[in-house]
Structure 1
Amino acid sequence: MNSSSFLTKFLRHHRHQYTRMNHLPSLDSSASSPTDKSNSLASKCWLDDACIVDIDYFVKTLSGIKANGVRPDLIGSIITHYASKWIPELSGEPPSPVAPELQSLSQSATASWLKKRFFIETIVAVLPPEKDAIPCSFLLRLLKNANMVGVDSSYKEELEKRVAWRLDQATLKELMIPCFSHDRSTLFDVELMLRLVKRFVELEIEGLRTGAGMFKVAKLVDAYLAEVAVDSEVALPEFMELAGAVPAQARATDDGLYRAIDTYLKTHVNVTKQERKRLCKLIDSQKLSTEASIHAAQNERLPVRSVIQVLFSEQAKLSSHTDWSRSFSTARSPNLSVDPHDRCHSSRDIATIQQMEIKKLKEHVTKLERQCYSMQNQIDKLSEKKRGFFNWRKLQMSTTLKSMSIEVADESKLDSSSIGKQTPLKGKQGRNKTPKRWRSSTS
């Protein structure tokens, strides 16, 4: 059976999708029926019988199918199904013990390894140019096996470009690719993950990808860092480089990054003080939740400077929340000028913060009442002392005036009975001495 008859048979089995456009619905229609499902099942059975015979024959047939204008996603499904039959690991399911494909690979280890390498390189070469035609999960499994058998660097680079394009659709389990390099002793391929993240960030910067993909990748990176942090062979520079590969604005919260760094410091006990400081600078204390901030404030593995920053950030959040609450109670509407991160608290966090604020206000009011009471007592004591002092002065002055009046009265009596006039003697300026009596004249 030549290539043309093979292509005719293929199109006959897929006539519901590949016949002329004026007789059948559009190929872009997503509606499916039991008839379509049965045809899809029949096509898989036909692929099992015909396409697995020879990979070169499959490549020629696939070229003919592409020439007939078949949709790229359908071509991608054909490739993934065919590749999964040759390499059961690519299907994502445990291999069947009675699969006939395993019998064809039951050769020497070297021959099986070479055949697997040639097959993966061939599959990568026939992938459709449209990057969305192949699922990201299949590409990651293909990349994992490509690293395992050591395919050529150009094929691995092509796979990495395709995976980086759809990295936001990957899962953590699929990204945990073991390290097959003899030069490195880490458990997982951290350098591969770093290359994928950098490529994805470049696509975002160039504007080729938009949407919420960066936020998903940031969460994946934080979760990946938390997993590889327990590996004692992961060096600090590559850990920090991967953590810093994601832009800071892509992280809505730094709880995941804090958990990864704390796990790394717990595992790598020989990290110096300066290295701890450089590592903890990656954490934005203002993006930590209340639970993470409480944990960080009591974490002995963190530098003192980082703990102080966390405490100041929590105080600033509390002050901002208090101002926001006051403005809300006054204007009956939230203050739009407040930072969105300060307003994105859960109801539980808001209730906790309000209870803490009320408790602090009560303590402050109680303290002010005690101070006022103490000041009032001091004022009363001072007023009583002043009253006693003025009463004593009045009593002293009245006694003095009475004694002076008595002396003046006595002197006036003496003056009236005296013979001559009395002339007071003037002493020094400002002082009056008591006048002396003159002797009676004898002349």
Structure 2
Amino acid sequence: MTKKKFFIETIISILPPDRDCIPCNFMLRLLRAANTVRVEPVYVSDLEKRVSWQLDQASLEELMIPCFSHASTSTLLDVGLVFRLVRGFLDTEDVSRSGAAVVKVAKLVDCYLAEVAVDSYLALPVFFELASVMPSHARSTDDGLYRAVDTYIKAHPGLSKQDRKKLCGLIDTRKLSQEASHHAALNERMPVRAVLHLLLSEQTKLNKNIIHWSGSLSASRSPEGPTGPHQSARFHSKRETGPQQQQIMEIKRLKEDVLRLQSQCMEMERQIEKMTLEKKRSSSSGFILSWKKLGFSPAFKGKRIGEIDDEESEGGGKTTPFEMKARLVRGKNRRRSLS
């Protein structure tokens, strides 16, 4: 082990200072070996800095470095290492010049999150920190992030409602594709409000598409020359506006589906609130039934708490169990005599 440690430290120390002279995947393998033999932190820090310079060239397979901590609650993969690499990549000066590199790293992070999300020991703050480290403009689509969040919620069924809302807040519903939006709308693990927000976003998209196609249709029907405006409009309506009309009808149909799903979600939310109120009422009624089983309901029937307190005060204080029993016996005898 000592020879391997010395050998790896020697390799790291003789690496050339140029950024692109050594492949990123090779340095990731070297970093994995360095963590295995536990080289000195100064060498690990230097190697992590070199990897972060060209993180956009890394592959997911080489990035999945195991966590060599012996703690019982440690994750399978070294998530903290990946967070440091991404943070170092974002802190470099060349990031502002190359937007394509940022997009590549964002896709790499989303794929890594989807792989590590199945780990039951992955804490929510760690997952949230890595998922939110990339800037908002880095993701052209949030499909990968949605898949990672959905995988984490599925692998951690004990998450509270607030935690699920917090995770869903990472997703920009405007950046979801049609397939991802359809999956999220039917996903039972997603919070109701998140689904409603998604449906409203889809409705906004449909409205914009309808306005766009309506403008295109009106432009195609406008006269294009001095000769025969009516004939030109008739020509467009027969040949060119046919596909556009079909697309507009399809968009309207999708809009109706979105409104129907939105009403269903609102109805589900009302049902949940109704069930919550019924549960509270049943708990309070169960408390009253327990008093009735003890035989105290005749004394309290039709009276408020203040009236009961007044009766007790007039009787000279609180009623003892013996006096209460005597009242009950007298009440039973009185009913028998009346019958």
TM-score (norm 2): 0.65
1:222 to 89, 110, 118: 110
Q: What SS does the aligned partner of 1:212 have?
A: helix
For 2:63, the equivalent position in structure 1 comes to: 175
Q: Is the aligned partner of 1:158 residue 2:46?
A: yes
Contact 1:218–1:250 (CA<8 Å) still a contact in 2? yes
Deviations 1:178-200 (A, max 9, x none): 00112352110000000001111
Paired residue type of 1:357? I
- Greater alpha carbon shift after TM alignment, 323-332 vs 143-152: 323-332
1:357 to 251, 254, 264: 251
CA gap 1:244/1:140 in 2 versus in 1, 3 angstroms: same
TM-score (norm 1): 0.50
- Displacement, 1:353? 6.3
Q: Percent identity?
A: 56
Runs of 4+ in 1 over 6 A off after TM superposition: 350-353
Deviations 1:232-268 (A, max 9, x none): 0100000000000011110001000000000100010
For 2:90, the equivalent position in structure 1 comes to: 201
Paired residue type of 1:278? K
Contact 1:318–1:353 (CA<8 Å) still a contact in 2? no
Partner Cα distance (1:148, 1:294) in 2: 44
Which residues of structure 1 form unaligned runs of 5+? 1-112, 333-349, 363-443
Contact 1:285–1:310 (CA<8 Å) still a contact in 2? yes
Q: What SS does the aligned partner of 2:217 have?
A: helix
- 1:297-308 equivalent positions in 2, closer than 5 A: 297-308=185-196
Contact 2:145–2:171 (CA<8 Å) still a contact in 1? yes
Contact 1:203–1:209 (CA<8 Å) still a contact in 2? no
Which residues of structure 2 form unaligned runs of 5+? 221-243, 257-339
- Displacement, 1:329? 2.4
For 1:250, the equivalent position in structure 2 comes to: 138
For 1:316, the equivalent position in structure 2 comes to: 204
Equivalent pairs, count: 233
Q: What SS does the aligned partner of 1:246 have?
A: coil
1:145 to 26, 33, 36: 33
1:271 to 152, 156, 159: 159
Q: Is the aligned partner of 1:330 residue 2:203?
A: no
Deviations 1:55-80 (A, max 9, x none): xxxxxxxxxxxxxxxxxxxxxxxxxx
Partner Cα distance (2:95, 2:255) in 1: 50
For 1:296, the equivalent position in structure 2 comes to: 184
Q: Is the aligned partner of 1:262 residue 2:150?
A: yes
CA gap 1:120/1:209 in 2 versus in 1, 3 angstroms: farther
Partner Cα distance (1:321, 1:361) in 2: 10
Deviations 1:360-396 (A, max 9, x none): 799xxxxxxxxxxxxxxxxxxxxxxxxxxxxxxxxxx
CA gap 1:248/1:124 in 2 versus in 1, 3 angstroms: same
For 1:210, the equivalent position in structure 2 comes to: 98
Let me know the Cα RMSD of the aligned residues. 2.3
Partner Cα distance (1:302, 1:167) in 2: 32
For 1:188, the equivalent position in structure 2 comes to: 77
CA gap 1:289/1:232 in 2 versus in 1, 3 angstroms: same
Partner Cα distance (2:45, 2:245) in 1: 52
Contact 2:206–2:255 (CA<8 Å) still a contact in 1? no
